[in-house]
Amino acid sequence: MKKFKKVIIKHPTLRNLRNNLRKIIDIWELTEEKKLSDKMQSLDWKSPQWRELRDTQNQLRRLLNLSICVCDVCQAQDKDMVFDPFVPKWMCVDCHEVLIPKYKDPRVQAEIHAEADDVSLEEFKATMQKNFGIKEEKSKRD
């Protein structure tokens, strides 16, 4: 996909439904994460089972963050989203409008493409803050 994919819902009832579904998915992910944490507490942190549970926990969080449910930049869950093929991640329309002028610079595009494959969420946030002055907002979940 070479173009941005915007998913904008204007009808209030559908917007409410979308937001509630995103909350359900987030609550499910947090519940699963807590179950895994409870199991991890009874294990030695050096054991392979502990590492396997931690990896599963990290994978759940990563999958949620890569989905359309959460903006990859500000962690918002109640906004319309845009898929950006340059990053390639979902972000809210507000964050995308702030970042889109930066993408027109070929140096920025090359840097993003080089880092997009192996960058973690935390590294991505740090890069956005350092290079573009975008600060992370705390989500309501924190």
- Pair 9, 18: CB distance under 8 Å: yes
What per-residue confidence (pLDDT) applies to 44?
84
Question: Per-residue confidence at 20, pLDDT binned at 50, 70, 90?
Answer: very high
pLDDT tens track for 108-132: 666 666 655 555 556 666 666 665 5
Tell me, yes or no, if the pTM score tops 0.75.
no
- The candidate with the shortest Cα–Cα distance to 95, out of 77, 120, 112, 108, is 77
Q: What letter does residue 119 receive in the DSSP assignment?
A: -
- The candidate with the shortest Cα–Cα distance to 103, out of 122, 89, 84, is 84
pLDDT tens track for 52-108: 888 888 888 888 888 898 988 888 889 999 988 777 888 888 888 887 766 666 666
